[in-house]
Amino acid sequence: MSLESGIAELTSAANSLIAYFNSRKASIDAAVTDALLAIPNNKKVYYVDNVAGSDANTGKLASPFKTIDKAVASTPYGGSCQAVLLSDYIFDTDTSLDGISLFITSSVPGTKRKLMVRNYFNSTSNTNWMAALLMLAGSAVTFKDVSLNFPTVTGLTNPPLGGPNTFFRGSVSGQSPLVQVKLLDCEIVDASGATALLAYSPTSALLLEVYNTTFPSGFAGRYVFGLAAGAQSNAQSNVLTNLTTF
């Protein structure tokens, strides 16, 4: 075979390959697009109206959910959920955050939405517990423009104590190496007779960041379960915070 004929055959084969690719390009592009669209969007933004919403809704602004639970449940594992509160919210059941990063904020920047926490009767322990955000594996929470209202224990038989009386509650089984909480432009409000603690992290490190947030008078000793009033934050081996003392 001469050099010229060999080059001609190679050129013909190359042209055939290019022609085949061109004939398949549209279907290849479509398949790649379909594959990309099939990848779930792990960042979700849902609107929550505890007064007029419904968990049968879509979670969009014109069709808000009723509960934060539904917003969390509608977020894929490992995802980020932003729950935008359109009204004040009664928090009367535990919400589990397993692998979810939760951001709760007001629908009106600068206007705080009340998150009114309630106690409930735990039939297993035969005591009252305070409703909580249960911080499980890989979870994190940020509040912005939220007024977190703690309930009274006055008049309760077997009132919540310790971990069951804490709002940001880590897991005793230690599923997560780090419990992450951030409060931004928030306030903590006590009902008369409230004794609730802010964070409980018995077997995990705790990251607690607080900015432009106010606390009730005499709240010392209630920031982190197990840390007495006046405890120095820089003396704690498993707590990272911008607070100076507890």
What percent of the residues of the chain are helix, what percent strand, and what percent coil, each to the nearest 5?
A: 20, 35, 45
Put simply, whether the predicted model's pTM sits higher than 0.85 gets the answer no
Residue 246 inside a domain? The answer is no
Phi first, then psi, for residue 214 (nearest 5°) are: -105, 150
The reply to whether 97 and 131 lie within a common domain is yes
The reply to whether 80 and 190 lie within a common domain is yes
Using CA atoms, how far residue 243 sits from 41, 50, 60, 108, 232, in Å, is 35, 32, 37, 27, 9
| Structural domain range at position 26 | 1-39
Residue 108 inside a domain? The answer is yes
Contact 95, 69 (CB under 8 A): yes
The reply to whether 169 and 229 lie within a common domain is yes
| Residues near 158 by beta carbon (within 8 Å), at least 6 away in sequence | 126, 127, 128
The reply to whether 18 and 120 lie within a common domain is no
The reply to whether 212 and 182 lie within a common domain is yes
The reply to whether 83 and 124 lie within a common domain is yes
The reply to whether 162 and 47 lie within a common domain is yes
The reply to whether 127 and 54 lie within a common domain is yes
Q: How many CB atoms lie within 10 A of CB 230?
A: 9
**Which pLDDT value is given to residue 17?**
63
The reply to whether 158 and 219 lie within a common domain is yes
The reply to whether 149 and 88 lie within a common domain is yes
Number of domains forming the structure of the chain: 2
pLDDT by residue for the chain (246 residues), tens only, comes to 565 665 666 666 666 666 666 777 677 666 555 554 555 678 999 999 999 999 999 999 999 999 999 999 999 999 999 999 999 999 999 999 988 999 999 999 999 999 999 999 998 888 999 999 999 887 899 999 999 999 999 999 999 999 999 999 997 776 678 899 999 999 999 999 999 999 999 888 999 999 999 999 999 999 999 999 999 999 999 999 999 999
